A and B are shown apart, each in its own frame.
Chain A
Amino acid sequence: MSLRIVVCVKYVPDATGDRHFAEDHTTDRDAVDGLLSELDEYAVEQALQIKEANDDVEITVLTMGGDDAKDALRKALSMGADKAAHVNDEALHGTDVMGTSLVLAKAVEQIGYDLVLCGMSSTDGVMGVLPALLAERLGVPQVTLLSEVSVADGTVNGRRDGDTASQRLSAALPAVASVTDQSGEARYPSFKGIMAAKKKPVLALDLSDLGIDPADVGLAGAWSAVDEVAERPARTAGTVVKDEGEGGRQLAAFLAERRFV
């Protein structure tokens, strides 16, 4: 029995760069170099480990994004995914998470899947809700925020470390799962992997391929609106002293002055 895994990966602006907003209050995706979200590398890694542990597994990496987003697909392919799909359409500019979940749900259905794997959150939007939305739209179980995941006999199992308890979860396939950065370091692409990636198929999709009305996505189709963005004023530099044997006491005096002791 074959197992079809679709991994959703996002192309994001580098967090160590000087990230900004564009005039229309959307994330400026030109000002800073982009990359495959580090948190989605963990999802690719777990897909590869599931492939190694099971027979006849095929991994498709899926992204929704502009032309540059193909770099994210390339990276995932060079790590070892089998093929890729890229939803790219002018009308998608400014799409919110509700719209993104619609697009990815349609794409996942078109590709065909037994398991959808996501990262725990994107590193730009940081909402961490897309996997739950995908499960809701697809009408399949969500097995999310896993620090450990495995697939066997048509079920997906995992460990979810919550605030008050650690839970063991189980659901029948098809399902949507997401993994955290505690799930295990992602591998680096090998030279062989990078060369092989160049020959792997990338399916290009636009909104008409997915049967989506452009009015349902994009900035105008969003269900929430950003009215104002403001750069947080830089913190004014405080006092920095060098410890000459009195550093702890000096610090205590500062804390006392601020009434913390």
Chain B
Amino acid sequence: MGEVLVLVDHVDGAVRKPTLELLTLARRIGEPVAVHLGPGADTAAATLGEYGASTVHAADAPEFADYLVVPQVDALEQVAKAVNPVAVLLPSSGEAKEVAARLALRLGSGLITDAVDLEAGAEGPVATQSVFAAGFTVRSRVSRGTPVITVKPNSATPEPAPVSATVQPLKVLFGSAATGTKIVSRTPREDTGRPELTEAAIVVSGGRGVNGAENFAVIEALADELGAAVGASRAAVDAGWYPHTNQVGQTGKTVSPQLYIAAGISGAIQHRAGMQTSKTIVAVNKDAEAPIFDLVDYGVVGDLFQVLPQLTDEVKARKG
């Protein structure tokens, strides 16, 4: 079996969950080999080995932190040309998608973005994508070069397959384009202590019906009782009630949790695009005609300020 390069998504060596999903999927089509860029490769190696990566190509250089996208492309291109993998897998973040695209172009390879599933096929890996606001499922494949595929979070359950990982230091020769876009400064996001939106098993989202930033406390209270992440519709974000990083939908995050609870959200097509593939969907809305009710497993027509606190108390009571 050939090797499958997996770009590691990490914060200073703390490997993020989508990478474990990528390693799990990579094992279906070949032998996973990790590429770790930036600090912390030795810390990461233990986790990467746990999920089946026997080799970790690791490079650290100031370029990765100081310049946008291209340094990572240079590094991956170098590894890809040395290893000649059967596929390259990356997470579907805005940044990794850009890395994937430029890499694919340099390798003369086709690109598939936002896969939600991946399996081996007679003519190479077959990717499943969810398109047109999750109204359709498409199966596609790369027909030229080394398939470069980005995969959405929550597309697979991480399965351990322990091996001992060897870290192979990589010296990257950066091209002249690498320093084109300077990252002048960086403000890290505040940690809310809640689960990551795209990784959470449960998401509780609020929309225009929440009617004010301070009222999001009602959404947060339920989320915390359920151990859930908090989401918001674009209407709530545009009104300034909740940060854009929490927006669910076409121009926000795509979530696919076990349970999605929508409160005060009408269910516009652009919102559905980001949550339609959730396993169980629940809505609370005072308008019985709201399109969100077409999607629900369970819906309550009512005032969210009555229903949610009661639900939160009841969940607390049942847990206790």
Which residues of A are interface residues toward B (Cβ below 8 A)? 15-16, 19, 21, 25, 39, 96-98, 101, 120-121, 123-124, 126-133, 135-137, 139-145, 147, 157, 160-172, 175, 180-182, 222-232, 234-235, 237-243, 245, 247-252, 254-256, 258, 260-261
Contacts and interface: CB of A to CB of B under 8 A. Distances in A.
Nearest to A97: B111
Interface residues of B, number: 91
Contacts of A144: 68-69, 98
B114 A248 contact: no
For A139, A180, A238, which residue has the most chain B Cβ atoms within 10 angstroms?
A238
A224 B314 contact: no
B137 A230 contact: yes
30 contacts: A132-B98, A133-B102, A133-B105, A136-B102, A136-B177, A141-B68, A142-B69, A143-B181, A162-B95, A167-B183, A169-B182, A170-B184, A175-B180, A175-B181, A181-B251, A223-B111, A231-B136, A232-B134, A237-B296, A238-B298, A239-B297, A242-B301, A247-B284, A247-B307, A248-B313, A249-B311, A249-B314, A252-B311, A258-B280, A261-B319
B83 to A, nearest CB: 20
B94 A128 contact: yes
Interface of B: 11, 68-70, 73, 93-95, 97-98, 100-102, 104-106, 108-114, 126, 130-145, 177, 180-189, 202, 226, 234, 244-245, 250-251, 258-259, 269-270, 276, 280-282, 284, 288, 293-303, 306-315, 318-319
B181 A169 contact: yes
A243 B302 contact: yes
Contacts of B308: 248
Contacts of A226: 138-140
A164 B259 contact: no
Contacts of A123: 250
Nearest to B306: A243
Nearest to A129: B101
Contact of B143 (A16, A128, A182, A224): A224
Contacts of A157: 184
A227 B110 contact: no
A133 B300 contact: no
A124 B189 CA distance: 30
B188 A167 contact: no
B139 A228 contact: yes
A124 B140 CA distance: 16
Nearest to A143: B181
A161 B187 CA distance: 9
Question: Closest 3 CB pairs between A and B?
Answer: A248-B310, A243-B302, A223-B110
B300 A243 contact: yes
A98 B310 contact: no
Given A224-B140, A251-B300, A235 B102 contact: no
Given A143-B181, A248-B306, 6 more contacts: A133-B102, A141-B68, A175-B180, A224-B112, A247-B311, A248-B300
A40 to B, nearest CB: 13
A251 B298 CA distance: 8
A19 B100 CA distance: 27
A229 B138 contact: yes
Nearest to B243: A161
A234 B294 CA distance: 9
Given A226-B139, A243-B307, A256 B318 contact: yes
B144 A223 contact: yes
A145 B137 contact: no
B97 A128 contact: yes
A240 B143 contact: no
A130 B111 CA distance: 12
Given A165-B188, A224-B111, A127 B97 contact: yes
A196 to B, nearest CB: 30
A142 B244 contact: no
A247 B300 contact: yes
